[in-house]
Chains A and B, each alone.
Chain A
Amino acid sequence: GAGVSQSPSNKVTEKGKDVELRCDPISGHTALYWYRQSLGQGLEFLIYFQGNSAPDKSGLPSDRFSAERTGGSVSTLTIQRTQQEDSAVYLCASSSLIGGQETQYFGPGTRLLVL
């Protein structure tokens, strides 16, 4: 079946502009995570959505970052007033519970370059 998809695959933007990154999770997966992979920081958690529960936003690096998940499916991550240090690969993962254990499946990522 279809895996997690993300768009765009690459995004180049100018410092100060806003960007939106999209994630389509695997159908039926209720949990959705955003992570960021950068040279300096490695892979780090950003935000988590699960059904109608309040999201876990503890990993968002600043208030320029926000995310939403509409209808319990597609999610968008928005970065306002982008800075050069926002350049990274943004990864989305969705997960299901099988036998009480959660497994996260990752999308291919969006590579963001802020000039």
Chain B
Amino acid sequence: AQSVTQLDSHVSVSEGTPVLLRCNYSSSYSPSLFWYVQHPNKGLQLLLKYTSAATLVKGINGFEAEFKKSETSFHLTKPSAHMSDAAEYFCVVSDTSGQGGSEKLVFGKGTKLTVNP
């Protein structure tokens, strides 16, 4: 079964400093991996996705993630945090084992990012 583990439930950084949100995955086949962001009282927004084309994936708002098969990791980074980055971030893997071609998403527990002025 596909699963993801987000190693930190809460990360706090100062504005202008780097962001690192950690994620490890477990997959029986080459996975599709995603990072989604959820701002308070807002819907889920796709930040970026990995689908085996390139191991370094660039997303929106300056975020990027690197797929490392040897470490089964897909950590999310950003060089310089902005106040508007404060939100909850979800690492997600696609599970295609369901019927009818379903590609249901399996979510990590989330990492809440706080950005201090």
Give the B-binding residues of A (Cβ under 8 A). Answer: 4, 31, 33, 35, 42-45, 48, 50, 53-56, 58-59, 91, 93, 95, 101-109
Contacts and interface: CB of A to CB of B under 8 A. Distances in A.
Mostly, the A contact residues are strand
B103 A102 contact: yes
A106 B43 contact: yes
B61 interface: no
B107 to A, nearest CB: 4
A4 B46 CA distance: 14
Interface in B76-117: 90, 94-95, 98-110
A113 B51 CA distance: 37
Contact of A58 (B98, B103, B106): B98
B100 A108 contact: no
Given A93-B105, A101-B49, A104-B105, 16 more contacts: A4-B43, A31-B102, A33-B102, A42-B108, A43-B107, A45-B104, A45-B105, A56-B98, A56-B102, A58-B99, A102-B94, A103-B49, A105-B46, A106-B44, A107-B43, A108-B42
Shortest Cβ-Cβ A-B pairs, 6 listed: A43-B107, A48-B102, A53-B100, A56-B102, A106-B44, A45-B104
B67 to A, nearest CB: 15
A104 B94 CA distance: 10
B105 A35 contact: yes
B43 A56 contact: no
